[in-house]
Structure 1
Amino acid sequence: MVDTFRSSIIAHKEQAMINGSVSGEQGVSLSEVPFLAQVNIRGNAEDKKFVAGVKKVVGVAVPTDPNTYVTKGDFTVFWLGPDEWQVVGPVDGQDDLVQKLRDALDGLHVAVIDVSGNRTALDLTGAQARNVMKKSCRLDMDAQSFAPGQAVQTRVGKAPVLLQMLDDKPTYRMFVRPSFAEYLVDWLLDAMGEYHHL
């Protein structure tokens, strides 16, 4: 059930985010995507019943290549480790997702845990987004090194995030813990500042 009284972690930053964004061909923008369903799964990727169970619910098999993700429809499955994945789904759909996964994986040695309240998502996009990320993260942000289909657990500023490369615009999605969300927004707005007048 949706709690109509809750607000996003950084809702009070909305005006600052709008003022701190630059639109247009040369710009960069920052937005929050709150309340996504996020479910952590632990299991054995070599167990055909486990793989089939997850696929039955989300439409794709768990990725087995490190630092990758797969998407189908409303669901994205991130590789977090050899036996750990995170499924991200529609806003406020976690209860249904957890129940369907538990039913599909019943009897197997697995863990299915709702972690939706553990992270919010920030999207950084636009022609200057890569330059903002180059100032903010130690990873190689060149298109050949970090491309759509890749995701990695890293730091942006000093905030630990799950960083996803969504598309070639480029768009970066950062899943960040609530305690770091406001700090990360402030960091990114500051890093975006030099592109206000392009």
Structure 2
Amino acid sequence: MLQEDGGIDEDVNHRIKAGWMKWRQASGILCDKSVPQKLKGKFYRTAVRPAMLYGAECWPTKRRHVQQLGVAEMRMLRWMCGHTRKDRFRNDDIRDRVGASPIEEKLVQHRLRWFGHIQRRPPEALVHSGRLKRAENVKRGQGRPNLTWEESVKRDLKDWSITKELAMDRGAWKLAIHVPKP
């Protein structure tokens, strides 16, 4: 779901709303005080988070998109634990209680998994024809060019210190992502 200007704002908002819809459908379980928090976290990771991240492997996410997703996720997790921001519990403590990793890590995992799939395919495969390419020798407009998916992948590889070859290896990069960033 691309906008005319190539942005993904509408898609991010749509996915957040889809996550909240899943949340409301499961609120009977997720807000029940008799259900253990680890079980709530497992249910959240298997039902709500996939609804929020559906199609995210193709997003060229900006920092504000990641922040929007993170805010929505933390609201859900706090609500699930029965806390508000006034209670002043740290986000990391709440994540530890329910066993949920930050949504930014999941976005990077999805994007790098898709990058590996694309890189392993032959160049004439249809998946390569769907990627948007910048035209060479064309005068472009003023301002910064739009963020592309390839630039997002390059940023992820650099931020997490992962080589392109490691990203192409099925699942090997997952180990590198779970190591804390320096």
Normalised to the residue count of structure 1, the TM-score between the two structures is 0.24
With normalisation by structure 2, the TM-score equals 0.25
Structure with more strand by fraction:
1
